[in-house]
């Protein structure tokens, strides 16, 4: 039986989703729990390879188990085995060829910033602290520029191995509230570090370190060193995956 899983996790203690040598990962922890619960080695596939320190509200994964497995009991077992920072929210049967990565039509990420105030202890592991106040109007203007089909070559990690750097963004918006800013972006697919470099570049522009007029030029195939810094991983959350 093919199973679709929705997994929530706090990624601070992990090297990311994908199994890494000598470093804990979400995938490895789930496969360990499945082996204990089912007494079988089971490979887990994920919808996206979140980076080290990145969190997820609804990462989608898939794996195969025997047809007679009770998914309600399996979910309880997995949540009893995994650490407190990982929760299997749901398990449900899926079609035999379900692929959580290739079948996805859109992914939504959210990035949180605490700005213009002292650090927030409650958001320390979930947000980037920027001591200075950010110009929200500038951020909104920049975010609207991101929507559409663009070349995001300037907004990817130097070791990103994607064959094409063109992506189509469906939604890009900043939401301000009492010293906290949330950036939400939805696209069909993302490049490695794409959201974090976008956020880092927009923040530098909102702080007056870059000209607003320079931002659109970065979508014309500019080199990575022409964009801004990579925002810290801890502020990023995978919100949902659509099929």
**pLDDT tens sequence across 159-186:** 888 889 999 999 999 999 889 999 999 9
**Contact yes or no for 149/217 (Cβ under 8 A):** no
Bridging pattern class, strands 180-187 and 106-115? antiparallel
**Residue 68 annotated to the active site:** no
30 is in which domain, residue-wise? 2-94
- Alpha carbon distance 64, 227 (integer Å): 42
| Residue 165 CB-half CA count within 13 A | 21
Rounded distance between C-alpha atoms, residue 114 and residue 133, angstroms? 9
Q: Do 146 and 203 reside in the same domain of the chain?
A: yes
What pTM, to 2 d.p., does this model score?
0.94
- Pick from 87, 190, 97, 183: which is nearest to 142 by CA? 183
Average of per-residue pLDDT values in the chain: 95
| pLDDT confidence tier of residue 134, bands split at 50, 70 and 90 | very high
Q: Single out the residue in 46, 63, 94 at which a domain terminates.
A: 94
Asked whether residue 78 falls in the same domain as residue 136, the answer is: no
CATH number of the domain that residue 147 is part of = 3.30.70.660
CATH code of the domain in which 53 resides? 3.30.70.580
pLDDT of residue 195: 98
Same domain, 119 and 89: no
Contact (Cβ atoms closer than 8 angstroms) between residue 23 and residue 111 = no
The verdict on residue 99 lying in a domain is no
Total tally of structural domains belonging to the chain: 2
Residue 111 CA to residue 165 CA, distance in Å, equals 21
53-104 tens-digit pLDDT: 999 999 999 999 999 999 999 999 999 999 899 999 999 999 999 999 999 9
Instruction: Given the residues 51, 67, 103, 151, select the one marked as catalytic.
Output: 51
Beta strands in the chain (DSSP E): 2-9, 45-46, 55-64, 86-94, 106-115, 128-130, 148-151, 166-177, 180-187, 236-242
Task: Confirm whether 194 is domain-assigned.
Answer: yes
Residue 20: pLDDT band (50, 70, 90) is: confident
Burial (CB < 10 A; 0-12, 13-18, 19+), residue 49, is middle
Nearest to 19 by CA among 44, 53, 54, 56: 44
Domain boundary among 38, 65, 94: 94
């Amino acid at each position: 039986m093919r199973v679709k899983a929705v997994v929530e996790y706090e990624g601070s203690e992990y090297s990311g989703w994908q199994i890494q040598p000598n470093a804990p990962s979400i995938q490895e922890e789930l496969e360990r729990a499945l082996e204990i619960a089912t007494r079988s080695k089971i490979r887990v596939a994920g919808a996206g390879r979140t980076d080290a320190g990145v969190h997820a509200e609804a990462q989608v994964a898939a794996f195969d188990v025997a047809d007679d497995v009770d998914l309600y009991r399996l979910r309880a077992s997995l949540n009893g085995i995994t650490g407190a920072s990982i929760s299997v929210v749901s398990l449900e049967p899926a079609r035999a060829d379900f692929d959580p990565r290739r079948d996805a039509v859109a992914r939504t990420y959210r990035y949180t910033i605490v700005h213009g105030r002292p650090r927030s202890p409650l958001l320390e592991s979930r947000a980037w602290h920027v001591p200075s106040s950010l110009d929200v109007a500038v951020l909104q203007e920049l975010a609207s520029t991101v929507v559409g089909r663009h070349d995001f070559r300037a907004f990817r990690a130097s070791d990103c191995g994607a064959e094409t750097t063109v992506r189509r963004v469906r939604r890009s918006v900043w939401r301000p509230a009492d010293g906290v800013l949330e950036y939400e972006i939805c696209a069909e697919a993302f490049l490695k570090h794409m959201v974090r470099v976008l956020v880092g570049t927009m923040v530098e522009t909102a702080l007056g370190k870059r000209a607003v007029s320079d931002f659109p030029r970065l979508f014309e195939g500019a080199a990575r060193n022409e964009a801004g810094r990579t925002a810290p991983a801890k502020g990023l959350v995978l919100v949902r995956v659509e099929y």
